């Protein structure tokens, strides 16, 4: 048995049912599972591994519910810096389709390392382009090498331009090949057990890149194999126009007809929804991955997150692809989620039809309408765990996995903000983790990735990034 003790934290944020925040707190874990959380004085005095968190805050590991790890290879492309979604995708499709296993491995290592350094311990990745020999196997190996908890998707695109889709024909796969590989990946890698480090999700890309038949067949397979389903939905008004013109239905109605509403489903973005659709998500158990930075970067819109929360919809945070965010920093996403929710309130009247207006003193906001720092942290922790269908992560309490990170509070970035240390980590500039632990194993130590030297990985990643873009 391997034991772990964390002690002397300035404050430990549990995110348990009582939302306890324990001063001079800590935790004790055995074989990667938390056995005790409380005051340092009440914990066992020793362990195989002891982390002295003096002057630090301890938080549950963040859960990233939407990402595209291979997109770290195409950050900041000049031709894609000022585009909305559809035009942005057209710049990238052919580059992504050329991603070979060596480039794919480095992109996963870079994206996952950046997430670990920002306090993220569980990563969901939505990959849907498997050309040039790229496979999910490469991603799973990279996650194991770094020690991150990983939900990998076998995504898909099958509807090329010649059939009315957005992607070029050379970027899509045959649907029979897709389904065969979905079965292979689930059978080989999916682990449904408590504390699982690897799970598989089936994830057709979007309404404009897959056929109705593929969506239906994927849903049937996922439920037969008891794995979750994911796709992009309601991200832009272009997508809404596409489904209205092609199918005569709004995206949510269309997905409902394909049996894609349920508690085993979550959608990325989910921006352009009305009140009835929010109620429908809540009643069917659908989750949403909120990606504020990417939504702003592409001018997609502002998701109604407070409405989702009030209705009981499961909501988590996602950094989204590193080519539409250009970062994989979960704490930055937490901060942006809080700020963007406040902006949305300032753009919508408290009553009446939706229209832009200037918030004035005659329309003051109630305190419960604001997105608070703690609510934003909930989205990144227990919210994300719920979206991914997990009850073993997201909070620090007995029986949960020992997934957490620490932040040093005696830094320039937090100076003057320690009246409320918990809120400081959201209101102040995002910092990097001092220590990150996944399943009881230290994966970030003293602010550095513990499992490998990242400098050679960075050099190789930059080489592949430049070569792939130059081959366009």
Which pLDDT tens digit goes with each residue over 101-115?
A: 999 999 999 999 999
Per-residue model confidence as pLDDT tens digits over 6-27 = 999 999 999 999 999 999 999 9
Q: What is the pLDDT of residue 363?
A: 52
What is the 8-class DSSP label of residue 401? Answer: B
Q: What is the separation, in whole angstroms, between the first and last Cα of the chain?
A: 53
pLDDT of 360 > 60? The answer is: no
Neighbours of 229 (CB within 10 A): 24
In the chain, % of residues over pLDDT 70: 95
| Residue that is written with structure tokens 């938080």 in the block | 59
Pairing mode, strands 404-408 and 435-438: antiparallel
Report pLDDT for 357.
43
- For residues 351 and 195, which has the higher predicted lDDT (pLDDT)? 195
Predicted confidence band of residue 364 (pLDDT cuts 50, 70, 90): low
**Residue 344: predicted pLDDT:** 81
Q: Give 74's DSSP letter.
A: G
With a cut of 90, say whether residue 368 has pLDDT above it.
Answer: no
Paired with 7 in beta bridges are 52
- Say what the pLDDT of residue 131 is: 83
Domains, the chain: 3-60+393-448 (2.30.40.10), 62-387 (3.20.20.140)
Instruction: Give the pLDDT mean for 43-71.
Output: 98
**How does pLDDT run across 134-186, given as a tens digit for each residue?**
999 999 999 999 999 999 999 999 999 999 999 999 999 999 999 999 999 99
Q: Alpha-carbon distance 210 to 229, whole Å? A: 14
- State the angle between helix axes of 175-189 and 212-225 in degrees (0 to 180), rounded to the nearest 10: 20
- The whole-number pLDDT of residue 132 equals 85
Q: Residue 353 — pLDDT band, cuts 50, 70, 90?
A: very low
Alpha-carbon distance 261 to 284, whole Å? 6
Q: Does residue 131 contact residue 98 with C-beta atoms inside 8 Å? A: yes
Query: For 203-218, what is the mean pLDDT?
Result: 97
Whether 48 shows a pLDDT value over 90: the answer reads: yes
Q: In this structure, are residues 119 and 269 in contact, taking their beta carbons and an 8 Å threshold? A: no
**Cβ proximity of 155 and 96 under 8 Å:** no
Residue 187 has pLDDT above 80, yes or no: yes
Q: Mean pLDDT in the chain?
A: 95
State yes or no: pLDDT of 359 exceeds 50: no
């Amino acid at each position: 048995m391997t034991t772990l003790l964390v002690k002397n934290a300035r404050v430990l944020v549990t995110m348990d049912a009582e939302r306890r925040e324990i001063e001079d707190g800590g935790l004790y874990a055995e074989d990667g599972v938390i056995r005790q959380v409380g005051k340092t004085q009440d914990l066992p005095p020793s362990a195989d591994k002891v982390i002295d968190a003096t002057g630090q805050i301890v938080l549950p590991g963040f859960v990233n519910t939407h990402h595209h790890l291979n997109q770290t290879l195409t950050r900041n492309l000049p031709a894609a810096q000022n585009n909305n979604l559809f035009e942005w995708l057209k710049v990238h499709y052919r580059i992504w389709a050329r991603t070979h296993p060596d480039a794919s491995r480095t992109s996963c290592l870079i994206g996952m390392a950046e997430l670990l350094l920002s306090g993220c311990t569980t990563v969901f990745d939505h990959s849907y382009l498997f050309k040039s020999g790229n496979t999910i196997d490469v991603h799973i190996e990279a996650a194991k090498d770094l020690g991150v908890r990983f939900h990998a998707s076998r995504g898909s695109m099958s509807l090329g331009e010649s059939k009315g889709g957005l992607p070029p024909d050379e970027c899509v796969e045959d649907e029979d090949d897709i389904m065969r590989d979905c079965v292979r990946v689930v059978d080989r890698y999916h682990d449904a057990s408590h504390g699982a480090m690897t799970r598989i999700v089936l994830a057709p890309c979007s309404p404009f890149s897959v056929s109705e038949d593929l969506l239906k067949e994927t849903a049937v397979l996922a439920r037969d194999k008891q794995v979750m389903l994911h796709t992009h939905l309601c991200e832009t008004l272009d997508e809404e126009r596409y489904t209205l013109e092609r199918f005569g239905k709004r995206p949510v109605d269309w997905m409902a007809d394909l049996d894609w509403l349920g508690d085993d489903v979550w959608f990325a973005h989910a921006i352009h929804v009305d009140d009835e659709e929010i109620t429908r998500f809540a009643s069917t158990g659908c989750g949403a991955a909120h990606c504020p930075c990417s939504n702003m970067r592409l001018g997609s819109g502002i998701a109604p997150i407070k409405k989702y929360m009030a209705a009981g919809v499961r909501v988590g945070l996602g950094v989204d692809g590193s080519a539409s965010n250009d970062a994989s920093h979960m704490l930055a996403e937490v901060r942006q989620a809080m700020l963007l929710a406040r902006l949305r309130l300032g753009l919508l009247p408290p009553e009446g039809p939706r229209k832009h207006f200037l918030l004035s003193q005659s329309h003051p906001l109630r305190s419960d309408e604001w997105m608070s720092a703690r609510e934003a942290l909930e989205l990144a922790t227990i919210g994300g765990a719920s979206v991914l269908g997990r009850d073993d992560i997201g909070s620090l309490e007995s029986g949960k996995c020992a997934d957490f990170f620490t932040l040093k509070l005696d830094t320039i970035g937090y100076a003057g903000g320690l009246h409320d240390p918990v809120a400081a980590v959201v209101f102040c500039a995002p910092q990097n983790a001092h220590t990150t632990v996944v399943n009881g194993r230290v994966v970030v130590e003293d602010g550095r990735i513990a499992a490998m030297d990242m400098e050679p990985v960075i050099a190789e990643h930059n080489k592949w990034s430049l070569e792939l873009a130059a081959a366009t």
